[in-house]
Amino acid sequence: MSVRVSSMSVLPPVRRDRIIAQLPPCFRKEAALHTKNDFNNKVRTACQEQRTGTVGRFKISKVIVVGDLAVGKTCLINRFCKDVFDKNYKATIGVDFEMERFEVLGVPFSLQLWDTAGQERFKCIASTYYRGAQVVIIAFDVNDVASLSHVRQWLEDALKENDPTAVQLFLVGTKKDLSVCVLLCFLDTLN
């Protein structure tokens, strides 16, 4: 017996906080990719006229998240996509994938988030997914200096597969809450 599956899938509406009508202001000027107040007029016009170079129905950007094992890559993505946090560690096997839909100036836009495994034995599989990224996020644990010292290697590996001049790079320190705990424990020992 053959079953026909309709290729038309009904997508849920884009989340309200994913509808972007104004250029989001930068968090801090020193750490900003841009310091403009609004979208460029050319961009606004192109969006109004739907001249945005679509890939299929959506414009898609690929983000890869790399970094040492257990630094919190999966948690970072889950917080962004689902606003959840799981304190139990489940190692990523190879890669995982999330798709986040946006609407920018009325134009559909999708962010592909590739969560890669930090474990050495999965590095080979994970690195086959690095190609074609527009954004590279390198995560390190602020409480683990070794994870920071490995950042250079993660960067080199990610850029081997991508055009370094066309990639947006982010370095993200994770587990800041624990660094406060470490400091408090240290202060406690002084009293």
Ligand X SMILES: Nc1nc2c(ncn2[C@@H]2O[C@H](COP(=O)(O)OP(=O)(O)OP(=O)(O)O)[C@@H](O)[C@H]2O)c(=O)[nH]1
Nearer to ligand X, 57 or 87 (CB): 87
Task: Choose which of 95, 105, 113, 117 interacts with ligand X (CB under 6 A).
Answer: 117
Give the shortest CB-72-to-ligand X separation in angstroms.
3
Q: Fill in the per-residue mask, 76 to 105: x = in contact with ligand X (CB under 6 A), - = not in contact.
A: ----------xxxx-xx-------------
- Of 137, 135, 118, the closest CA to residue 127 belongs to 118
Residue from 17, 30, 83, 177 binding ligand X (CB under 6 A): 177
Q: According to DSSP H, which parts of the chain are helical? A: 41-48, 73-82, 123-127, 145-149, 151-160, 176-190
In angstroms, what CA-CA distances link 145 with 92, 107, 129, 141? 22, 42, 27, 7
The CA distance from 71 to 113, in Å, is: 17
From residue 120 to residue 159, the character string flagging contacts with ligand X as x (rule: CB under 6 A) and all else as - is ----------------------------------------
Count how many Cα atoms sit within 13 Å of the Cα of residue 19 in the half-sphere of its side chain. Answer: 5
Binding residues for ligand X, rule CB under 6 A, total 20
Binding site for ligand X (CB under 6 A): 69-75, 86-89, 91-92, 117-119, 174-175, 177-178
